[in-house]
Amino acid sequence: MASHRRPTQPGPTRSARVTVLSAALATAAAALGAAPADAEPGATVTPRAARSTVDGLFDQAEQATELYDRATERADLLRARLARTQDGIARGQQRLNLLRGALGALAGAQYRAGAIDPSLALLLSSDPDTYLDRAATLEQAGVLQAGDLRQVRQAQRALAQQRADAHHDLDELRRSRTQVARHKRAVQEKLDRARKLLKTLPTAQRAVYDRASRSGGGGLPPLGALPVSGRAAAAVLAARGAVGRPYVWGANGPHGFDCSGLMQWAYAQAGVALPRTSQEQRYAGRQIPLSQARPGDLVVYRSDAGHVGMYMGNGQVVHAPYPGARVRYDPVDMMPISSVTRV
């Protein structure tokens, strides 16, 4: 998301930015009082170099935020699936208890008659492994009808499979939580370094990052064309209404957003469920050329699809630009465009 934060004059190329990113630690240290390792003795870091490093740190923070969003979404899905599995286990155990209760009634009747078949006692064993290993004996014993026996065996096996699934999901949930925590630390590290570096910029340069929406705080700019559908129109109205709300990494509204969270929330107001991350959102519809873009289309940026905004017409998008800024309008070509998606 670096390009849309630059002053009006052209900024460094993508390859130059990659070079800066690879030296982010050295540059940040230089801006805080130490010169980069390859600098001449007594050299100082220029505001332009500092801005480039801040841009790179914000880019890295946004990429880490997308990974955080993806891991969080995965953890949420796993929690929901685990809850459903546990409900299924409870129902399966209840069904098995009923089946075993029926067998117990049969055993009681035999006992009252003065004898209980040893094979039926085996079936009522509380050890499922013992039961499954020796169930064939019961079939041959003829104590129960074959259909009754199959029901008990199927219920026992289904319950064992559900428990195995729950164990697998629980392990994966633990791994997903670890990923969430790791990506969260990465985001916070990048943002902390960027904030420290911003403090070293002259006031005029720092204002580039603090500026308000390009709408100027006045009325909303007119749409350049009509949305292609009613749901796109509803999403556009929601996104326009979000202008001025803060960028909050990992948030998808309604009081704060990251870039993909804003798109997801805006389309949710139109009754459309978008995926959580910008990488997934680029495939949430039909890809079209930028020349055919209309309000409501998603504009995905950079080769890594790490940023997304919503086209509003008149060459503008609404997007959540970067931490510390607010949802605002910016030119659609603020950075390299990866694709345009019509939902």
Q: In angstroms, rounded to a whole number, what is the distance separating the alpha carbons of residues 159 and 143?
A: 24
For β-strands 307-313 and 298-301, DSSP reports them as: antiparallel
173 to 72, 83, 160, 182, 275: CA distances (angstroms): 10, 12, 20, 14, 20
- Assess contact for 334 and 10: CB atoms under 8 A: no
339 pairs with which residues across the strands?
300
Which run of H or of E encompasses 342? Answer: strand 337-342
275 to 189, 232, 246, 325: CA distances (angstroms): 26, 16, 21, 24
**Widest CA span of the chain, in angstroms?**
103
Contacts of 125 (CB under 8 A, 6+ apart): 131
> For the sheet containing 337-342, what is the strand order?
286-288, 337-342, 298-301, 307-313, 316-319, 328-331
Q: What are phi and psi of 181, to 5 degrees?
A: -65, -40
Q: Tell me the catalytic residues.
A: 259, 307, 319
Q: In angstroms, rounded to a whole number, what is the distance separating the alpha carbons of residues 324 and 249?
A: 10
Q: In angstroms, rounded to a whole number, what is the distance separating the alpha carbons of residues 255 and 244?
A: 10
Q: In angstroms, rounded to a whole number, what is the distance separating the alpha carbons of residues 66 and 73?
A: 10
Identify the DSSP state of 220.
Answer: P
